[in-house]
């Protein structure tokens, strides 16, 4: 379980919390509906009465993914996820509490209406339950097989720590990558240019900005089309934004070297090595840099929902968010909550096969702790390999001190994640040609 941290909130944050009007005085247009973990909701309701709406807002609670007919049961007793309402101007206050109390990046998801939030909660339960049954299925065994040893063995030595470190340095040099700031917008464009440069010799590859309606920062998507199974998609992603939890967000210094320049750098190195070797997959691969994760998984929520609406077939999703701080003895920690058990098992098998010197651990990070939750909630198998157990992660994130110096000035830990990532991509996307 996630351990609460001892925190002292700044006077400006406290003032913001209590200077707002009561929910009864708000117009409905000021409201946003959110889903968040019950543990977080109960704690925040005790610390900041009035920040969230009243608790019993679901008329018929969700039981095992379905709406119960028993109106006498409190919904909070039936689910680890709850629905709340919040003034849209106070969402960033909630984000501060989620960061400082639970160390969850986001930790909640925003929905346009009560109906959509309630539907989202139901489908999350349904998909999580389905994933548990899928773990032992023949489909999972077929999808997650290991038979590309020669190709993976050829690529692994080409993963370079210095390349990862270089990308971390470039991204953390921005004042911040906040989703509303100009530097946040420019950082997304920089990632697009960098990925497009890596693909400059491949006419089949597309690198595009995915624009969002309600904020200026774009997500970035690279598509390597599959040769024989183009409709089957393998997604590898991480968020590109950063945040300072205390100072004015638009101008605050938020280098975000670990959170999450390290994840984007890990993905970039996977791309570099694949394209250097002229890799053509049977399945389509999409590498994604998500906008606005720190404020409620906004970018990945938009993308995953759009993919579900279009009935796109996602074979698997892996999230790289914070890969360069080894706070615990484990080299890679697989998050077990709101992820796909079958794919988690496969990642552990990949590590045992290709990276036997590494120690693999397991932990839980709570609801909505990173972008994998967006995919899980839309019914896609997602995994989240993380840098440490939750009680020993990098406590300097969301501050001016989230620099590469916290990781010893190198990217050796992220180097491990890039190796795991390239093994995953090759085994699941499958090489079309074995001639590298």
Known catalytic membership, residue 239: yes
DSSP 137-179: SHHHHHHS----HHHHHHHGGG--HHHHHHHHHHHHTSS---T
Angle at Cα 244 formed by Cα 238 and Cα 248, nearest 5°?
Answer: 135
Known catalytic membership, residue 259: yes
Across the strands, what pairs with 318? Answer: 236, 383
Rounded Cα distance between 251 and 67, Å, is 45
Q: Where does residue 65 fall: left (phi above 0), alpha (psi -120 to 50 degrees), or beta otherwise? A: left
DSSP 93-123: HHHHHIIIII--SS-EEEESSHHHHHHHHHH
Choice among 239, 372, 413, 415 that is catalytic: 239
Helix, strand, coil shares of the chain, percent, nearest 5, are 45, 15, 40
Query: Exposed, middle or buried by CB within 10 Å (0-12, 13-18, 19+), for 350?
Result: buried
Known catalytic membership, residue 203: no
Which two structure tokens, joined as six digits, stand for 206? 């597309």
Choice among 111, 125, 398, 415 that is catalytic: 398
Choice among 232, 241, 258, 259 that is catalytic: 259
Known catalytic membership, residue 321: yes
Residue 259 annotated as lining a ligand binding site: yes
Rounded Cα distance between 420 and 331, Å, is 11
Choice among 241, 258, 302, 321 that is catalytic: 321
Choice among 293, 337, 387, 402 that is catalytic: 293
Choice among 241, 294, 402, 427 that is catalytic: 294
| DSSP 8-state secondary structure symbol assigned to residue 261 | I
Residue 294 annotated as lining a ligand binding site: yes
Known catalytic membership, residue 293: yes
Angle at Cα 431 formed by Cα 260 and Cα 333, nearest 5°?
Answer: 35
Residue 213 annotated as lining a ligand binding site: no
Exposure string for 43-61, b = 16+ CB within 10 A, e = fewer: bbbeebebbbbebebbeeb
Q: Which residue has the tokens 């620099």?
A: 403
Maximum CA extent, the chain = 67
Q: Known binding site: residues?
A: 239, 259, 294, 321, 398
As annotated, the binding site for Zn(2+) includes 239, 259, 294, 321, 398
Please identify every residue annotated as catalytic: 239, 259, 293-294, 321, 398
């Amino acid at each position: 379980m996630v351990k609460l941290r001892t925190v002292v909130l700044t006077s400006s944050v406290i003032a913001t919390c209590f200077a707002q009007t009561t929910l009864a005085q708000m117009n409905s247009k000021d409201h946003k509906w959110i889903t968040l973990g019950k543990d977080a909701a109960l704690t925040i309701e005790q610390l900041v009465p009035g920040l969230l709406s009243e608790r019993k807002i679901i008329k018929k609670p969700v039981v095992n993914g379905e709406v119960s007919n028993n109106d006498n049961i409190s919904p909070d007793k039936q689910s680890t996820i709850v629905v709340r309402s919040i003034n849209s101007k106070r969402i960033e206050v909630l984000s501060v509490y989620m960061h400082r109390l639970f160390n969850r990046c986001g930790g909640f998801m925003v929905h346009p209406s009560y109906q959509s939030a309630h539907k989202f909660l139901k489908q999350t339960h349904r998909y999580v339950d389905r994933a548990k049954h899928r773990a032992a299925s023949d489909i999972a065994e077929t999808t997650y097989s290991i038979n590309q040893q020669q190709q993976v063995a050829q690529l692994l030595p080409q993963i370079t720590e210095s390349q990862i470190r270089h990308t971390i340095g470039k991204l953390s040099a921005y004042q911040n990558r906040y989703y509303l700031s100009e530097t946040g917008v420019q950082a997304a464009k920089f990632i697009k240019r960098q990925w497009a440069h890596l693909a400059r010799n491949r006419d089949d590859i597309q690198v595009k900005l995915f624009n969002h309606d309600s904020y200026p920062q774009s997500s970035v998507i690279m598509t390597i089309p599959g040769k024989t199974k183009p409709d089957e998609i393998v997604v590898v992603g991480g968020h590109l934004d950063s945040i300072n939890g205390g100072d004015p967000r638009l101008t605050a210094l938020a280098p975000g070297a670990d959170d999450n320049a390290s994840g984007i750098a890990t993905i970039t190195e996977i791309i570099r090595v694949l394209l250097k070797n002229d890799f053509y997959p049977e399945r389509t691969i999409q590498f994604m840099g998500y906008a606005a994760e720190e404020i409620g998984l906004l970018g990945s929520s938009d993308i995953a929902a759009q993919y579900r609406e279009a009935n796109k077939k996602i074979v698997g999703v892996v999230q790289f968010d914070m890969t360069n701080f080894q706070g615990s003895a484990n080299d890679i920690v697989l998050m077990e909550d709101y992820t796909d058990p079958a794919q988690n098992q496969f990642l552990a098998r990949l590590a045992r096969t290709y990276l036997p010197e590494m120690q693999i651990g397991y932990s839980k990070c709570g609801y909505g702790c990173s972008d994998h939750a967006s995919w899980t909630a839309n019914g896609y198998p997602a995994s989240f390999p993380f840098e440490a157990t939750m009680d020993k992660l990098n406590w300097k994130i969301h501050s001016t001190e989230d620099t590469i110096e916290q990781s010893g000035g190198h990217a050796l830990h992220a180097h491990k994640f890039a190796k795991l990532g390239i093994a995953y991509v090759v085994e699941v996307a499958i090489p079309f040609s074995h001639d590298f």
